[in-house]
Chains A and B, each alone.
Chain A
Amino acid sequence: MMSLVVARELSKTYKMGDVEVDAVKNANFEIGEGAFVAFVGPSGSGKTTVLNLIGCLDKPTGGGLEVTGFDVTRLDRFQAARFRGTNIGFVFQNFNLIPVLTVAENIEYPLLMVQNRPAKERVTRVNALLEAVGMEDQKAKLPDQLSGGQKQRVAVARALVTNPKLVLADEPTANLDHKTAHSILGLMKKMRREMNTTFIFSTHDPRIMAEAEVLFTLEDGRLITHATEEGGTND
């Protein structure tokens, strides 16, 4: 399996006044194409920072990071936006749907406003995703008319509509009840199978961790374990 994400001695240090805080310290990891990966650890362990670095939302202060074969540490903000729009989908903890757009329009947004795809292609893609996440009958509704689980389904569809190589989900189930959380993870797994998209998510919920096929454990910014579904563990 080819590596989609390669991190070498990846570090991120934040300055808070005179104090320097290591959010991620010398992390080394590789994530293969089509993987279903979770970064786990307690609050403040660096999970979100790792996802932000992979998602080109933030820049590392040390080390190297390649995503889909590109050295993303060299991208400026315009190139990073273009890279994200082409290669990465995002699912947020708070769903972050655009409140003035309907379900279908929210899903359509990246195709329309980021990739400028033609109308026919947009309709086809949006309908396919609506069907895949089971939201066809809700497509005309606005986000505030949906439940949390429905919102996250829409968010997953929006993340996948551009057919990205990678979907990053930061605590995607944190605002959902356990049953809904499992259903969302089930949906993500299903989409991963159907589209061969790599899913990387962060969580600190042990029940959700069990769904991951590859598990990276972080503690105080350090990657301490790397476990696979087959039971292998690397310290």
Chain B
Amino acid sequence: MINVVKIALRNLRRYKRRTQLTLALIVTGMVFFLVFSSVTGSFKNAMVGEVTGSFLGHIQIHQRGYIASIDNLPLQLNLQPEQVKIIDQVLDQDGAVAAFSKRVKFGGAFSNYKQTTNIRINGVNPEQEFATCPQLLSRFVEGSADKSSLERGKILVPELLAHGLKIKAGDTAVVVATNENGSVNGKTFVIGGILSSATGPGGRDGYIHIDDARELLRMTDNAVSEIVIRINDFGQLDKVRNRLFSAVASERTQEGKPIFEVHTWEKLSPFSNIAKMIDVMTFFLMLMLVAVVLISIMNVMIMAVYERIREIGTIAAMGTQPRRILALFITEGFIMGALGALLGLIIGLSIIFGLNLLGISYSFGRQEALILQPTISFSQVFVISGLVTFVSVVASLQPAWKASKMEPIEALGHV
């Protein structure tokens, strides 16, 4: 085999310019793919981290039908205390769950005594909420980014609302809400902090303590609107979601339908479509890379076979078995693909490293100064290098097969 490799290498060196051009094509494709997928991957990860880490969490559990009516924040579809207890037990027993937070969500009117506007509010336990959505703390533009800002009697308000009503941390405001029975109640809050907006639903919600929410809504029990879950390993998202759903699936309505809905963040945020688009674009770029490698290697190998017909005839006449001739040409394609993949990796990873060193910042929606941190996983590197090498071998198959099938007498007579 070493000798086949040696001969293949020398043949590649024989047509230096052609080999260099083909390698350049493969390397360029590899570099584009690596840089693109790492940059878009960085953007996607940042966005997913932002969306899940600041308000959505990784998984949410609601009562059946809640998500379909979520725009109305229906209090009558809250999870009842006995249902919450069941979910508590399931979550406490699952080692994959890092933290979870119970929320009472409602819509109300927010007034600074001069102006009034609508607001969506989450009543939360600060400790649970900050453990489940740790990036909420990074959204503080005013106030102290800790649980003291969400003590009873305090409210965190979204930045746009604060600007509109010209309020700042320490000011007081009134929240008026209608409870499940249609009774209206109001409560005065001190502005504990102002939060920057985040992309997606819930990114412009206000926060109060869950006990204040229950007081305001005159709730007499521990019902909650949703339970937001953070898991330890994001890669296990679907697995954990399915496990949690199975664990609570036995709870059924009288009609025999599951009481609980268990959704991953993807079902709850439109950003998941952008993330999917990024995946689709990356996939198509990979297809283009495959096409570039396939066509360029096939072109080179067809030319190599055509130019070496007499040589093929000579080695066949000397008794070289067809499978060895096949191996010679496939090895040439393999070496070219593997070398292109290696060079592409070196250059691509260097560029990715350089981009990380540069620390380029960018904006997305209302979010500014996001730092571009392109990364690429070992598995992606492995898959793309393997794919390029594999496609190179596949591209060499037809010309190599043709070479191995040549009749020596015809090949020797080729002019």
B-binding residues in A (CB < 8 A): 52, 55, 57-58, 77-78, 81-86, 88, 90, 92, 94, 96, 98-101, 109-110, 112-115, 158
Subset of 8 A-B contacts with CB under 8 Å: A57-B407, A81-B319, A85-B318, A90-B314, A96-B310, A96-B313, A110-B319, A115-B319
Chain A, residue nearest B8 (CB): A100
Q: What residues of A have a CB within 8 angstroms of the CB of B10 in the complex? A: 100-101
Contacts of B311 in A (CB 8 A): 96, 98-99
Number of CB contacts from chain A to chain B under 8 A: 68
B409 within 8 A of A: yes
Are A109 and B14 closer than 8 Å at their CB atoms?
Answer: no
Residue in A closest to B314 when the chains form the complex, CB atoms: A96
- Would you list which residues of chain B between 292 and 327 have a CB under 8 Å from chain A? 310-311, 313-322, 324
* Cβ–Cβ < 8 Å partners of A57 in chain B: 317, 407-409, 412
Quick one: which of A58, A86, A100 contacts B11, CB cutoff 8 A? Answer: A100
Whether the pair B408, A109 counts as a contact (CB closer than 8 A) is no
A114 and B317 alpha carbons, distance in the complex (Å): 10
A50 CB, nearest partner CB in chain B, Å: 13
5 other A-B residue contacts (CB within 8 Å) besides A52-B409, A81-B319, A100-B11: A57-B408, A83-B319, A84-B319, A94-B310, A113-B324
| Contact across chains for B412 and A81 when beta carbons are under 8 A apart | no
What's the least CB distance linking A192 to chain B, in Å? Answer: 20
**Which single member of B3, B14, B313 contacts A112 (CB below 8 Å)?**
B3
Q: A58-B409, A82-B321 are in contact. Are A113 and B3 (CB under 8 A)?
A: yes
Give the residue name and chain of the A residue nearest to B328 (CB). A113
Q: Does B7 contact A (CB under 8 A)?
A: yes
- Are B320 and A114 in contact (CB-based, < 8 A)? yes
CA distance A181 to B289 in the complex (A): 54
Which A residues are CB-close (under 8 A) to B313? 96
CB distance from B304 to the nearest CB of A (A): 12
A110–B318 touching, CB < 8 Å: yes
Question: In this complex, what residue of B is CB-closest to A102?
Answer: B10
Contacts A92-B314, A113-B315 given; indicate if A81 touches B409 (C-beta within 8 A): no
- Of B4, B7, B310, B408, the residue contacting A101 (CB under 8 A) is B7
CB distance from A73 to the nearest CB of B (A): 15
- B3 contact set on A, CB distance < 8 A: 112-113
Q: A57-B409, A101-B10 are in contact. Are A78 and B310 (CB under 8 A)?
A: no
CB-CB under 8 A from B318, the residues of chain A are: 84-85, 90, 109-110, 114, 158
| A163 CB → nearest B CB, Å | 13
The CA-CA distance from A90 to B409 in the complex, in Å, is: 12
A63 to B412, CA, bound (A): 25
State in angstroms the CA–CA spacing of A113 and B311 once bound together.
Answer: 14
| A82-B319 in contact (CB<8A) | yes
Name B321's closest neighbour in chain A (CB-CB).
A81
Contact B324 A77 (CB under 8 A): no
Q: How far is the CA of A51 from the CA of B7 in the complex (A)?
A: 29
B319 in contact with A114 (CB, 8 Å): yes
Please tell me if the beta carbons of B310 and A77 are within 8 angstroms of each other in the complex.
no
Complex interface: chain A residues within 8 A of B320 (CB): 81, 85, 113-114
CA distance A101 to B6 in the complex (A): 10
In angstroms, Cα B313 to Cα A115, docked, is 18
- Is the pair A81, B310 in contact by a Cβ cutoff of 8 Å? no
| Cβ–Cβ < 8 Å partners of B407 in chain A | 57, 77
Note all chain B residues with C-beta closer than 8 A to A82. Answer: 319, 321
- CB neighbours of A110 from chain B (8 A): 318-319
- Cross-chain contact of A90 among B13, B310, B317, B324 (Cβ < 8 A): B317
Residues of B within 8 A of A158 (CB): 318
Give which listed residue, B4, B14, B319, contacts A100 with CB less than 8 A: B14
Q: Which residue of B lies closest to A114 (CB)?
A: B319
Tell me the minimal C-beta distance from B3 to chain A in angstroms: 6
- Residues on B with C-beta less than 8 A from A99 are 14, 311
In the complex, are the beta carbons of B317 and A84 less than 8 A apart? yes
Alpha-carbon separation in the docked complex, A100 to B332 (Å): 14
Proximity bits, B393-415, A CB within 8 Å = 1, else 0: 00000000000000111001000
Docked complex Cα distance between A99 and B11 (Å): 9
Interface readout for B53-70 with A: 1 if CB under 8 Å, 0 if not? 000000000000000000
> Smallest Cβ distance from A107 to chain B, in angstroms?
11
Q: How far does the alpha carbon of A90 sit from the alpha carbon of B408 in the complex, in Å? A: 12
CB <8 Å contact, A81 and B316: yes
Within 8 A of A (CB), among B1-47: 3-4, 7, 10-11, 13-14
Is A78 touching B322 in the complex (CB atoms < 8 A)?
yes
Give A22 to B11 CA distance when docked, in angstroms.
Answer: 39
Residue picked from B310, B313, B408, most chain A C-beta under 10 Å? B408
The residue in chain A whose Cβ has the minimal distance to the Cβ of B327 is A113
Bound complex: CA of A86 vs CA of B321, how far in Å? 12
* Shortest Cβ distance from B9 into A: residue: A100
Evaluate whether A85 and B319 lie within 8 angstroms (CB atoms) in the complex, with A57-B409, A92-B412, A100-B10 already known. yes
The 8 closest A-B pairs by CB, nearest first: A85-B319, A100-B10, A96-B314, A84-B319, A114-B319, A57-B409, A58-B409, A81-B319
**Bound complex: CA of A109 vs CA of B313, how far in Å?**
14
Distance (whole angstroms) from the CB of A76 to the closest CB of chain B: 11
Contacts of A86 in B (CB 8 A): 319
Query: Which of A55, A77, A88, A98 meets B314, CB within 8 Å?
Result: A98
Chain B residues closer than 8 Å to A88, beta-carbon distance: 319
A100 to B7, CA, bound (A): 7
- Output the least CB separation between A182 and chain B (Å): 25
Residues from chain B with a CB closer than 8 A to the CB of A78 are 321-322
Which residues of chain B come closer than 8 Å to A112, judged between CB atoms? 3
Taking CB as reference atom, which chain B residue is nearest A83? B319
Question: B317 to A55, Cβ gap below 8 A?
Answer: yes
Q: Which residue of A lies closest to B319 (CB)?
A: A85
